[in-house]
Amino acid sequence: MNPKIEDWDESFLDLEDYQVERALTRAALDAISRGRQYGTDYVIWEDDRVQSIKPSDTGPYEKRLLEDLERLNRKIAELQSANPNALTLNDKPEK
C-alpha cells in the first residue's frame, strides 16, 4: 500500500492547530534538553529512517526547532489579535 501524500498550505489552520504544533515543538526541545542532561541520544525519523543523534550533535535540530517556535509564537499572536474574543486551547467559556 502506498500512502497518498499531499502538500498542504497553512490556509486552513486555525489558532488551536498552531497551539498544538507549538506544544509539540516545545516537547521536542524538552526531549533534546533531557537527552543532553542525561547523556542519552535524541531519536528522530529523518530521511525515511530512524536516526539516533548524540547529545553533542543536536545543535542544528535545536536551532531549527527554536526558529519554528518563534514563527509559531508570531502566528499565534497574529491570530489572537485578529480575533481577541476567540477561545484558545484550554480556555473555558465565561458563564
Residue 65 region by backbone torsions, left for phi larger than 0, else alpha for psi between -120 and 50, else beta: alpha
Q: What residues have CB less than 8 Å from 44, skipping those under 6 apart?
A: 50, 51, 53, 61
Name the residue ranges covered by the structural domains of the chain.
13-82
Residuewise pLDDT in 10s, the chain (95 residues): 666 666 666 777 888 899 999 999 999 999 999 999 999 999 999 999 999 999 999 999 999 999 999 999 999 999 888 876 665 555 566 66
Per the DSSP assignment, residues forming a β-bridge with 53 are: 42
Phi, psi for 84 (deg, rounded to 5): -65, -20
Cite the DSSP H helix spans in 1-95: 15-38, 59-82
Threshold 0.85, pTM exceeds: no
